[in-house]
Structure 1
Amino acid sequence: MKVARILFFLVGSIFIVASLPISSGIMLELYTIKNISDKYTITSINGGDDFTDSTIYSFRGNIIEIEEELKESVIYKDLFDNYIGIADVTLKINGKEIETLKDHPIRTGYYSGLSRYFGEVAFLLLGDKKNNDTQFVVLLKKTKEFLKAKPNGDLEGWVPIEELDYTMITLDSEGNIGNTSFNLTERDALQTHLLNEGNVVPHTIGYHNQYMSGYLSLLFPIAFPFGTLLIGIILLLVGFLIKRKKKLVS
């Protein structure tokens, strides 16, 4: 009986120790996802596959536009066989220059409108549910990436996550302009959501970790870590019951 009790405690503890950090990280992600969705509505104007052909957007009487000065029409093909050129990309609001991306990679060829700046510039609408107000948001990826594949299949031109810098321009309903710069490693929860919705990050990023950003299945996170965590708790409870039963018998 003593050996069985020790075995239950040992195996249960191993299961809990292995599962608890990841399961708590997932719960933190789920809490933040719910918190963001309860507070905001976010609409991407140029997200996904539904690209607009225009680079001009009107928001409550304000004109937001992207002005392009093409330097080189084609310098290489990217991983998806898109032609990549070089241009100065300028954001203007009501005719005033706000930010310029100098010598920045853009998609050329048959692309037009905002789709030329996919991955570099994003237009979004940010709705505040509490205040019943909406802001126009422009995300600019300040760091240049010239990502392409070598003949042997290796990738070159990528930039480490900690070197990716962004600028977030906000325009509220009264025409006030905000300007915030941040590094990808220093983003907050709202910035994380905007970056994902705007498709200006190399891959989907989590709020605190990457546990919920990959492919989810019955194996992860159902079987592990939540299944193993539950089994660990059950094994510990069985160990306690065996110990309690032994005391009652004696």
Structure 2
Amino acid sequence: MKKMLKFLLFSIGALLFLTSLPLSTKMIMELIHNQKMNAAYEITNVSTGGPPTESTFHFNDHIIETEETVKIENSHRDPWSRKMSIADLSLKINGEGLDKLKDYPVRMEEAGLNRYYGEIAYLTLEDKSNDKTQFIILLKKTKEVEKETSDGDITDRVPDEKLKYTAHILDENGNINMTSFSFTDRDALQTELLSAGSLAPYPIGYYTDARESIPTIIFPILFPFVTLAVGFILLVLFFLIRQGEKLNRTA
């Protein structure tokens, strides 16, 4: 009977501890990472909110423009019943063409940059180590024209591994750099830019997306942290009992 109880004590403790450890470790790493990123940078999304930000934006002495050429008016409704058009979106800085998104969905009933929510984001990035600010135009280069079928399914959604992005970076001196990355291959800062710009398909983190979900009593309180603690306590009890039995046998 004692052997069975010890076996259950060890088995349950090991199961709870080992299943909880990977996720709880990643969540703690994500918390520390977020604190470091917040200490190093301040990212502001200037393309959302109210009143809507105009598609022509001034950063220092530079003019950033997004020009829209509608190709199909009132093309469809997206899965959230928003009226959509199909348009070519041309990005310009100081009148010079920089990039283009062809045949992209546009929210008809919105104004300014809100029309391109999820496709284009204007961001400012302040590097707190040198007090310098960059202006970033973040583009989703993978086109998604999501529609809802009669049975409720969403079509034309692109898998995560195929999502591509481009960031055009304008510094205070007018220098422009470009970097491209994918959703599944991004660094820490690119992750922050995607999150701030609302261009990711869902809330994301760098080490894990778990901290971005809406917290409940079950997650992340009961799992993984309470289960981790309970598993650890059960394992400690198991080894204390076994050690006590060894001491009794040698006494």
TM-score, length-normalised on structure 1? 0.93
Question: Separation in 2 of the partners of 1:51 and 1:182?
Answer: 31
Question: Separation in 1 of the partners of 2:13 and 2:96?
Answer: 64
Q: Give the conservation status (yes or no) of the 8 Å contact 1:22–1:225.
A: yes
Shift of 1:150: 0.8
Partner of 1:196: 195
Partner of 1:211: 210
Q: 1:51 to 1:155 in 2, by over 3 A?
A: farther
Partner of 1:6: 7
Shift of 1:51: 5.3
Partner of 1:228: 227
Partner of 1:242: 241
Indicate the percent of aligned positions where both proteins have the same amino acid.
Answer: 42
Partner of 1:87: 87
Question: Separation in 2 of the partners of 1:151 and 1:195?
Answer: 32
SS of corresponding position for 2:114: helix
Give the alignment of 1:96-107 within 5 angstroms.
Answer: 96-107=96-107
Q: Give the conservation status (yes or no) of the 8 Å contact 1:148–1:156.
A: yes
SS of corresponding position for 2:88: strand
Deviations 1:177-222 (A, max 9, x none): 1111111111112111111211112221221222122221121111
Question: Separation in 1 of the partners of 2:239 and 2:69?
Answer: 72
Matched, 1:30 2:31: yes
Question: Separation in 2 of the partners of 1:209 and 1:90?
Answer: 34
- Please identify runs of 4+ aligned residues in structure 1 that moved more than 6 A: none
Shift of 1:3: 4.3
Matched, 1:76 2:76: yes
SS of corresponding position for 2:211: coil
SS of corresponding position for 1:185: coil
Give 1:127's aligned amino acid.
Answer: E
Question: Separation in 2 of the partners of 1:225 and 1:238?
Answer: 20
Q: Give the conservation status (yes or no) of the 8 Å contact 1:51–1:114.
A: no
Give 2:74's aligned amino acid.
Answer: V
Aligned residues: 248
**What is the root-mean-square deviation of aligned Cα atoms in Å?**
1.6
TM-score, length-normalised on structure 2? 0.93
Q: Give the conservation status (yes or no) of the 8 Å contact 2:46–2:53.
A: no
Shift of 1:2: 4.5
Deviations 1:134-159 (A, max 9, x none): 11111111111111111111111211
Give the alignment of 1:99-118 within 5 angstroms.
Answer: 99-108=99-108, 110-118=109-117
Question: Separation in 2 of the partners of 1:172 and 1:153?
Answer: 45
Give 1:205's aligned amino acid.
Answer: I
Question: Separation in 1 of the partners of 2:116 and 2:102?
Answer: 13
Give 2:236's aligned amino acid.
Answer: L
